[in-house]
Amino acid sequence: MHILQIEDFFHPDAGYQLNVLCKYLVKMGHQVTILTGEMEKFPDYLTAFFGRDHMEERDRVYEASYGVRIIRLPLKAFVSGRAIFEKGRLLAQIRALAPELVYAHGNDTETAMWLLWNRRKLGCPIITDSHMLEMASQNRFNKIFRGFYRRVFTPILVRENITVIRTQNDPYVEKCLGIPLSQAPWISYGSDTMLFHPDTAARASFRREHGIPEDAFVTVYAGKLDESKGGQLLAEVASKPLHTQREVVWLIVGNTAGEYGAAVEAALKKSPYRVLRFPTQKYSGLAPFFQAADLAVFPRQCSLSFYDVQACGLPVLSEDNNINVDRCSHHNGWNFRSEDSADFAAKLDAILALPREDYAKVSSNALHFIQSGYDYAEKAREYEVILLAAAGKTEKE
């Protein structure tokens, strides 16, 4: 089946849902095209993490590696986190591609709403998904938007039974947008286990290359080091002396920017422990950092990397929001009180004090958690069932 996935922002070096799902769908025998915006119009806060240089070359590498076609269309603008396509050109491109299904990512984007409103012009069925959490929906106009969506788009979705896949186990779409959960199945994120898995040889090689003793305790963070992800909180905890005799190494992967970033870097330099700093990595290059570590930390919010570190057998320490508490409820990690650096450090102390055999059990639980249903090979099959049904098919064609 030819599936056209439409996404405002796509970067081939990222590890977002779209990047991973597409390669698995192609591996399963489907034809997949990604239709997205031109990189030049995206604001710096979106592109700074992975960069925007040589994008055509990067797109071609992704295409050659995974068999997914990428088409970028010019944008009229990028407003309030949303791409604004020239709609005549967007529709013409969709009709020229003649897909069997349009999958519009982000049901609350301007693009997805336009596609839903003009669904009869597409020439094929449409589905969409939601990446929003209630705790993340903090725009001061959110009540106005929610009311608008409930009046205009929810009736379309309900009347025509258009699927809205939830990528988080959160009631946002029902509670805030009025979309029944009966037509909003939850398919969790997962890990690309073709890349992420325990590897003792990779662990030994990384540690040898960077002079890290085998018995050192390595804590890794990989991601944005901005305010939204708690960069300063991470740096504050990394600079605290811990109550342990073990050698501690902080492995921090990600770029910083501006005054906030400078403050993060300055705090990290005060750490009494060795801090190894690395710039943002391609998604495909992250595995060795996780395989070399003993613990992954997430100072604020949620992260898709949770599944990738767990696939490498890494326990997790993260803030106690509802998503993270649920994720760590399988004896595969721990939570600290949100915004509480003292509790963050105290939990880290307690983890370091665990007998090694007890810690090994938590590590084993992390790996089992992924193997029990969060491998993207399994997730892609869940998507496939929904995509085929939405296109009116019962089997691959």
CATH code: domain 200-371 is 3.40.50.2000
Tokens at 370, concatenated: 């992924």
The model's pLDDT over 241-266, given as tens digits with 9 standing for 90+, comes to 999 999 999 999 999 999 999 999 99
Say whether 200-371 and 2-190+375-390 share the same fold.
yes
14-25 burial: b if 16+ Cβ within 10 Å, else e? bbbbbbbbbbbb
Calpha distance 84→79 (Å, rounded): 7
Q: Calculate Rg over the CA atoms of the chain.
A: 22
Inform me whether the pLDDT recorded for 369 exceeds 60: yes
As a whole number, mean pLDDT of residues 132-152 equals 79
Calpha distance 212→169 (Å, rounded): 38
As a whole number, mean pLDDT of residues 336-341 equals 98
Inform me whether the pLDDT recorded for 394 exceeds 80: no
- Decide: helix, strand or coil at residue 216: coil
- The pLDDT value recorded for residue 200 is 97
- The pLDDT value recorded for residue 396 is 60
Amino acid, res. 41 = K
Calpha distance 389→56 (Å, rounded): 34
Per this entry, what is the length of the chain?
A: 397
Q: Tell me 8's DSSP state.
A: S
As a whole number, mean pLDDT of residues 97-105 equals 98
As a whole number, mean pLDDT of residues 315-332 equals 96
- Decide: helix, strand or coil at residue 102: strand
- The pLDDT value recorded for residue 134 is 62
Check if the beta carbon of residue 363 is closer than 8 Å to that of residue 334: no
Average pLDDT of every residue of the chain: 94
Q: pLDDT class for 329, splitting at 50, 70, 90?
A: very high
**Which of 48-57, 67-76, 108-117, 129-138 comes out lowest in average pLDDT?**
129-138
Strand pairing report for 295-298 and 217-222: parallel
Prediction pTM value:
0.82
Q: pLDDT class for 138, splitting at 50, 70, 90?
A: low
- Decide: helix, strand or coil at residue 154: helix
Q: What topology does CATH give the domain 2-190+375-390?
A: Rossmann fold (3.40.50)
Tokens at 335, concatenated: 């939570």
Inform me whether the pLDDT recorded for 48 exceeds 90: no
Element (H, E) at 57: helix 55-66
Per-domain boundaries in the chain: 2-190+375-390, 200-371
What residues are paired with 318 via a beta bridge?
A: 298, 335
Residues in contact with 389: Cβ distance below 8 Å, sequence separation at least 6, in sequence order: none
Inform me whether the pLDDT recorded for 306 exceeds 60: yes
Per-residue CA distances from 2 to 19, 67, 171, 205, 386 (Å): 17, 13, 31, 42, 14
Inform me whether the pLDDT recorded for 54 exceeds 80: yes
Residues in contact with 308: Cβ distance below 8 Å, sequence separation at least 6, in sequence order: 15, 191, 192, 195, 196, 286, 287, 290
DSSP string, 243-306: S-SS-EEEEEE----HHHHHHHHHHHTT-SSEEEEE----GGG-HHHHHT-SEEEE-SS--THH
Sheet strand arrangement including 164-166:
69-73, 31-37, 2-7, 101-104, 126-130, 164-166
**Torsion sign over Cα 188, 379, 295, 228:** negative
Q: pLDDT class for 355, splitting at 50, 70, 90?
A: very high
